[in-house]
A and B are shown apart, each in its own frame.
Chain A
């Protein structure tokens, strides 16, 4: 599709219905503060309808935890936001750029959206420092020295600056995940997506990763977190989304969500997860 990806500025009315992203935002809540706008999103894997009519607006600085049973589409949803998964219907606008098949748009959005994976996905052939500087140097065109400075700053923030010269394989799972968080932060993203960041960790390492995420939350980062860490949701989330079979069943503030779930499905889920 051929609207102007650069700044979200009006491409002088080629396709009126998507001419000016800020227009469409005015009808959603929060308008100018909205950083992610998802409307009428559908996705299929073959015949399987994995996301059904998702509508979601995320404001700058907002922290959302998405939970739900496995296979409910929660990972797919956040993976749609940086186009690791392609959606077939509906709109996704990130930072005033609409996700289309235009690869330049996609790359631009990906640079602004950090992602932390369940299995860390650090680059095993590069040192920790190289893992962190790769994005800034090649995508942001930051000089190497500056990128390394930034990298060391973020490594310090996640308390593993002493591991900078090592390789991912030499680190524990918790350390690797913190490196992965630092790697995303080095890109100075506007939004951070977390796809079950603690699910692959040994129990005693969960806390160190959650602590890093809480610290990040306290600094006002916009975060979308797919997680079953209900303690984390309670302490930092502004909103909790509950998804089941491709739909957002319920969303509420964490206090309300945990104390007064409205839907039967949510109650069942919570009773199973909070022993």
Chain B
């Protein structure tokens, strides 16, 4: 009886005021020691110095729809450089009256991605939707069928080029990487040797040189009269490059799956493909979600390297805009915008990976 009495009274005691609520939080996180207290004060001072002027520049004094000349007169940010040139920055040289097509592609990609972010919405239908929209994009961009005016791949540019290179690059590179990883672990010496050779060769070469090879050297090997368009070649270079990195990461995952799992699968009589598809890969790929997403994020950013072979991705269209005398000198605003776009892309990928890990955690 005594014991139960003690227990109830012990449970009734409230925690001290200083450890809960706003005060408790501040104490615990900002002032829980001399060093932290000093750091907090320093950070607050720095923020006071920086934030108000930044706010003034970016919002109060800023111009949103003026001409370039008006911009030069103000001390604030000139967001007009973006609003005036939005269409060119986003869609580049794609024919003006046809720009609804890349717009559709961008909306499709972003929309589907946002919808796919919650693993509980996954279904067969969604997979089919992705498949269908990949095909739709493959028709929309070049046109030439269904009464769509054909558009030369050389004219694809801006954000649609960035997104398409990334999306198609990643969707092809990932399975290719998995196959290479399996190849590298194969018992068949020829397959193993080829996979190792491929992976090590590609990993020993910078992406830039692969892009150069794809754009300059590759056409030399083609027979007279046959041309493969530049975007496709760049795309192939990105895929081949990314796949080699994914292969190594997936190999790590394959090695992390305990031997007992291989043996249990084999002892049931599963053949190699069943064993890999049903038992090993689901576990291995789950283990390597974080590094895989790391590779996909850097591949997404690396698509901006296609500028050096003369493709007009998001970064290049922005540069072109800034070389227009009217808008010269507003690179801060323009590149801030580009940075935000890239950040949104990368951040949503990594937050997606965290959700995925959580959903698969068991």
Contact = CB atoms under 8 A, between A and B. Distances in A.
Interface string A73-102: 000000000101000000000000000000
Nearest to A124: B362
A222 to B, nearest CB: 16
Nearest to B271: A107
B34 interface: no
Given A110-B267, A121-B258, A135-B270, 20 more contacts: A82-B266, A82-B267, A84-B266, A103-B272, A107-B269, A108-B269, A110-B268, A110-B269, A111-B269, A114-B267, A121-B263, A123-B264, A124-B283, A134-B268, A139-B268, A139-B270, A167-B362, A184-B268, A187-B268, A187-B269
A134 B278 CA distance: 9
A185 to B, nearest CB: 12
A42 to B, nearest CB: 22
A139 B264 contact: no
Contacts of B270: 107, 134-135, 138-139
Contact of B268 (A103, A124, A135, A167): A135
Nearest to B279: A123
A125 B269 contact: no
Contact of A169 (B264, B269, B283, B362): B362
A187 B269 CA distance: 9
5 closest residue pairs by CB, A with B? A111-B269, A121-B264, A121-B260, A135-B268, A115-B267
B291 interface: no
Interface string A157-184: 0000000000101000000000000011
Contact of B274 (A103, A138, A167): A138
A51 interface: no
14 contacts: A107-B271, A110-B269, A113-B267, A114-B267, A115-B263, A117-B264, A121-B261, A124-B362, A125-B360, A134-B268, A138-B278, A139-B268, A187-B268, A187-B269
A151 interface: no
Contacts of A248: none
Contacts of B271: 103, 107
B138 interface: no
A108 B268 CA distance: 10
Contacts of A187: 268-269
Interface string A54-83: 000000000000000000000000000010
A243 interface: no
B286 interface: yes
Contacts of A234: none
A117 B235 CA distance: 47
A33 B279 CA distance: 35
A139 B269 contact: yes
A119 interface: yes
B154 interface: no
Nearest to A107: B269
Contacts of A103: 271-272
B282 interface: yes
A122 interface: yes
B274 A84 contact: no
Given A135-B268, A187-B269, A117 B260 contact: yes
A122 B264 contact: yes
Contacts of B286: 125
Interface in B267-323: 267-272, 274, 278-279, 282-283, 286
B282 A125 contact: yes
Contacts of A139: 268-270, 274
B139 to A, nearest CB: 37
Contacts of A112: 269
Contacts of B265: 123
Given A107-B269, A138-B274, A139-B268, A125 B260 contact: no
B272 to A, nearest CB: 8
B240 to A, nearest CB: 31
